[in-house]
Amino acid sequence: MNRKDEHVSLAKAFHKDHSNDFDAVQLVHHSFPGIDVDQVSIATMLFDRRFANPFFINAMTGGSQKTQVINRDLAEIAQACDLMMATGSVSAALKDPTVADSFTIVRKTFPEGFLLANIGAGSPVENAQRAVDLFQADALQIHLNAPQELVMPEGDRDFRQWLTLLEKTVAQVKVPVIVKEVGFGMSRETIQQLLDIGVETIDVAGSGGTSFTQIENARRKKRDMAYLDSFGQSTVISLLESNEVNQPFTRIASGGIRDALDIFKALCLGAQSVGLSGTILNLLLTKGKEETITIIQSWQAQLRLLYTMVGQTQTSDLTNVPIVFSGPVKDWCEARRIPLTTYSFR
């Protein structure tokens, strides 16, 4: 089986409803919202551009005939719901032009869409630009996935040039660059390293959703690295870490987003936009395209109600919402000297 098809099959097999650190985030309720739902806009700003929705379809797949169909359906969903969309890593198409259609289909399907190409951190600058050019991407995602590579039987083993290559790419590629994890989260130290080389937009992409160490371990003959199945920082913790960096940048959150409430909580924690992958893929594969569109549109409506509930009329004001943390998130904050009262009394 094609590795990309294996990833989709295993992601679907491992997908299940389960608790994650978003459940340790509790909103402090105040009884007088003081606004009308009609005053609310859920729009957000990214890349000096207004987006109608504060969430998008994040990187998933491409590289085979089966994933071409999935990317076409995802692009149709993005078009129907007015969402930004990323493809999976286009490295496969750069190596084998015969699978390029599995990525270019997104531009063909959603010609006016804001579309992101995706490539690995170890890619040279020329490949990064080729990834953008493949379907005239509006921005480039560069993914960080060292744990996945190490568990992957055929994965990379040399990471010495990653930061250097990232710096060159950010300086030379002609579209905005997002650096993202793939579900292992980020520390404030990692974020500072990225800011120091000129990165301006970061997707912290924490654990709590699809686990690529779990997927790659299932592809190992002995399946002997299951202890890394839940490795990494959660999305909630990664956002809290990001808020400890004393330098402005654009935050994107992804990883373990299950519904409108998780999107909302991520925005309250400082994300300007929220990416969904596994949840949307599972909806598409189990419920079909039309029902997936209906569910996403219901999230959009629910978000307006949630904004109203906390008395905020726009996305950028959600960081005024007071939040209390419990369990492992609280423990992490105490261990990493993240002041809890900054959030509970804001």
Q: Annotated binding residues for FMN, as ranges?
A: 59-61, 89, 118, 180, 210, 256-258, 277-278
- Residue 116 has which token pair? 């992101």
What residue numbers does the annotated binding site for substrate cover?
3-4, 148
Integer CA distances (angstroms), 169 to 120, 131, 210, 214, 251, in order: 11, 12, 27, 30, 19
| Residues 227 and 196: beta-carbon distance below 8 Å | no
CB neighbours of 73 closer than 8 A, spacing ≥ 6? 284, 289
C-alpha dihedral (105, 111, 114, 119), degrees to nearest 10: 30
What residue numbers does the annotated binding site for Mg(2+) cover?
149
What is the rounded radius of gyration, in angstroms, for the C-alpha atoms of the chain?
A: 19
- Amino acid, res. 301: A
**DSSP-assigned letters across all residues of 40-81:** ----EEETTEEESSSEEE-----SSHHHHHHHHHHHHHHHHH
What residue numbers does the annotated binding site cover?
3-4, 59-61, 89, 118, 148-149, 180, 210, 256-258, 277-278
Q: For residues 270 and 243, give the distance between their C-alpha atoms in angstroms, rounded to a whole number.
A: 7
